[in-house]
């Protein structure tokens, strides 16, 4: 009984999920004694905590892996351990193995001054170093980590989900190094700052936060950093997983962090004063603070003339409206409000509906589910079969359904138009959310007609205006209203209207406070 009450309270009485409370002293210090003021105690305890790195200990801990290589030189005086799947074999050969084979070992002190070589005595850090692609060299009492990592990676290719007609075509890939280089070469300024973090107890995934000093809001940077550092998970597989965990509102169907695979979008967000985050092993980057209208922007708008860009944006918002409401409107008119159909259209609708044995809501939901099945199957099919099934599903089934009398002609057009309209939204995650919300509208229309549609619209609006992204309102600049920002986000204003150095988030007074 107590658990039921607690659940009830959690759903109805809490405004949003309780986030993990960030402790006040949020250093990445693993040693609990480090919070004391006395530094000598800290050093002493550090010494007690870590162990000296030795060859034997390292071998036992890493075990006998398939890619573990250990070599010894000069009659077991020098031992090296590395993971062959993580090191670049050419650099390894050039930098380490050849010199070790050839040179006189008495002058090896000088070579250890090189920047690649790093002295490391902590056993834990040596293991981490080997797992990061370094070579561990054990000489006598000392241990050195040499950085020769060379991971295999996918070539920079065109993105498949965010294509642009006129603009750069490169996209991020899974290697953090490459992604950072794609950003660096577009922002050649010393003001570009990066913060390195690590998430995941077992995976130790690297996360890099990037922002431009002077334009970005440091509050947001610090808040984001604090949130990511307070995570306690075993691993994160993709940046989408990370942003879902650090979200403000985890139960909302709408995405709150904007993600993209394109460097040009990432860099434009940087210039607008936002903070972007890159996650290792993920081609998607996330950016914050984002609003609902960010998901309806595409680089095409900016690369074209502003009038056309504005026209396309307005078309997108109309498409949003159409995809949510069109099918629901058809259902509500055919079920409850026959008087709203204009007389000229009445005859064709009557003819097509007369052959259908089901009420409009049933046929609408049936067709919508078929379209969703087609879409999901199309995403999972191997490419060779994809084309055939598309034609079969789209044309043949539709035509056959009408002739068999299961659905009406007009409904097929309505559902097809609304499905096409849902794909106009540039961001795939947002368009998936909208497709699911569409079902709510159809069901409400089936129960209560036009007012059902407006109730659903009301629920959606109230929900959207209440969302926040890292404490910044989601539905800005419509509400709270900042008419000056409409030039940037709702329509695409001409470039002479945008002044230099004007950050997008110039509204200081509008931080969400509860």
Residues that bind another protein (CB under 8 A): 12-15, 18-19, 21-22, 219-220, 223, 336-337, 339-343, 447-451, 453-455, 457-459, 461-466, 471, 473, 475, 478-481, 508-509, 511-514
CA distances from 103 to 17, 96, 106, 419, 503 (A): 62, 11, 9, 70, 57
Burial of 108 from C-beta contacts in 10 A (0-12 / 13-18 / 19+): middle
Nearer to another protein, 343 or 403 (CB): 343
CB of 321 to another protein, least distance (A): 11
CB of 371 to another protein, least distance (A): 25
Nearer to another protein, 325 or 374 (CB): 325
Residue 221, both tokens? 């940077």
Nearer to another protein, 223 or 422 (CB): 223
CB of 472 to another protein, least distance (A): 9
Nearer to another protein, 273 or 283 (CB): 273
What residues have CB less than 8 Å from 386, skipping those under 6 apart? 378
Q: How many CA atoms lie within 13 A of 62 on its CB side?
A: 25
Nearer to another protein, 11 or 107 (CB): 11
What SS3 state is found at 258?
Answer: strand
Burial of 465 from C-beta contacts in 10 A (0-12 / 13-18 / 19+): middle
CB of 21 to another protein, least distance (A): 5
Residue 82 backbone dihedrals phi, psi, to 5 degrees = -155, 165
CB of 337 to another protein, least distance (A): 6
CB of 13 to another protein, least distance (A): 5
Q: Which residue has the tokens 């250093």?
A: 27
CB of 272 to another protein, least distance (A): 19
Nearer to another protein, 126 or 453 (CB): 453
Q: Whole-angstrom Cα distance, residue 324 to residue 430? A: 13
Q: Is residue 229 within 8 Å of residue 197, measured between CB atoms?
A: yes
One-character DSSP codes across 373-393: HHHHHHHHS-HHHHHHHHHII
Nearer to another protein, 150 or 458 (CB): 458
C-alpha closest to that of 428 among 477, 480, 375, 501: 375
């Amino acid at each position: 009984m107590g658990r039921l009450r607690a659940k009830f309270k959690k759903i109805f009485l809490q405004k949003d999920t309780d986030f993990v409370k960030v402790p006040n002293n949020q250093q990445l210090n693993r040693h609990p004694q480090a919070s004391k003021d006395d530094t000598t105690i800290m050093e002493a305890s550090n010494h007690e905590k870590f162990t000296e790195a030795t060859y034997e200990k390292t071998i036992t801990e890493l075990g006998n892996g398939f890619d573990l290589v250990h070599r010894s030189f000069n009659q077991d005086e020098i031992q090296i351990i590395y993971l062959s799947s993580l090191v670049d074999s050419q650099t390894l050969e050039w930098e380490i193995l050849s010199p070790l084979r050839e040179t006189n070992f008495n002058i090896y002190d000088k070579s250890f001054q090189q920047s690649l070589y790093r002295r490391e005595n902590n056993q834990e850090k040596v293991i981490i170093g080997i797992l990061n692609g370094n070579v561990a060299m054990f000489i006598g009492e000392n241990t050195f980590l040499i950085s020769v990592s060379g991971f295999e990676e996918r070539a920079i290719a065109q993105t498949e989900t965010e294509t642009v007609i006129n603009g750069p075509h490169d996209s991020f890939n899974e290697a953090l190094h490459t992604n950072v280089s794609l950003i660096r070469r577009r922002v050649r300024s010393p003001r570009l700052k990066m913060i390195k973090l690590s998430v995941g107890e077992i995976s130790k995934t690297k996360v890099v936060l990037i922002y431009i000093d002077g334009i970005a809001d440091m509050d947001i940077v610090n808040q984001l950093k604090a949130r990511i550092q307070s995570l306690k998970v075993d691993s994160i597989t993709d940046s989408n997983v990370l942003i879902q965990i650090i979200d403000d509102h985890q139960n909302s169907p709408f995405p709150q962090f904007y993600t993209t695979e394109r460097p040009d979008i990432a860099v434009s967000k940087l210039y607008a004063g936002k903070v972007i985050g890159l996650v290792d092993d993920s081609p998607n980057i996330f950016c914050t603070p984002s609003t609902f209208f960010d998901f309806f922007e595409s680089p095409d708008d900016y690369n074209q003339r502003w009038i056309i860009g504005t026209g396309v944006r307005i078309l997108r918002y109309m498409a949003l409206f159409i995809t949510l409401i069109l099918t629901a409107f058809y259902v509500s008119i055919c079920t409850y409000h026959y008087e709203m159909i204009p007389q000229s259209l009445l005859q064709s609708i009557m003819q097509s509906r007369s052959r259908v044995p089901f009420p409009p809501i049933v046929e609408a939901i049936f067709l919508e589910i078929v379209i969703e099945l087609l879409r999901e199957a199309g995403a999972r099919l191997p490419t060779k079969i994809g084309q055939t099934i598309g034609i079969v599903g789209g044309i043949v089934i539709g035509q056959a359904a009408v002739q068999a009398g299961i659905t009406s002609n007009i409904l097929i057009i309505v559902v097809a138009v609304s499905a096409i309209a849902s794909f106009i939204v540039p961001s795939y995650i947002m368009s998936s959310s909208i497709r699911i919300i569409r079902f709510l509208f159809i069901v409400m229309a089936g129960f209560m007609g036009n007012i059902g549609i407006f109730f659903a619209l009301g629920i959606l609006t109230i929900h959207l205006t209440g969302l926040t992204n890292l404490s910044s309102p989601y539905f800005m600049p419509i509400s709270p209203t900042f008419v000056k920002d409409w030039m940037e986000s709702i329509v695409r204003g001409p470039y002479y209207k945008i002044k230099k150095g004007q950050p997008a988030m110039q509204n200081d007074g509008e931080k969400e406070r509860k």
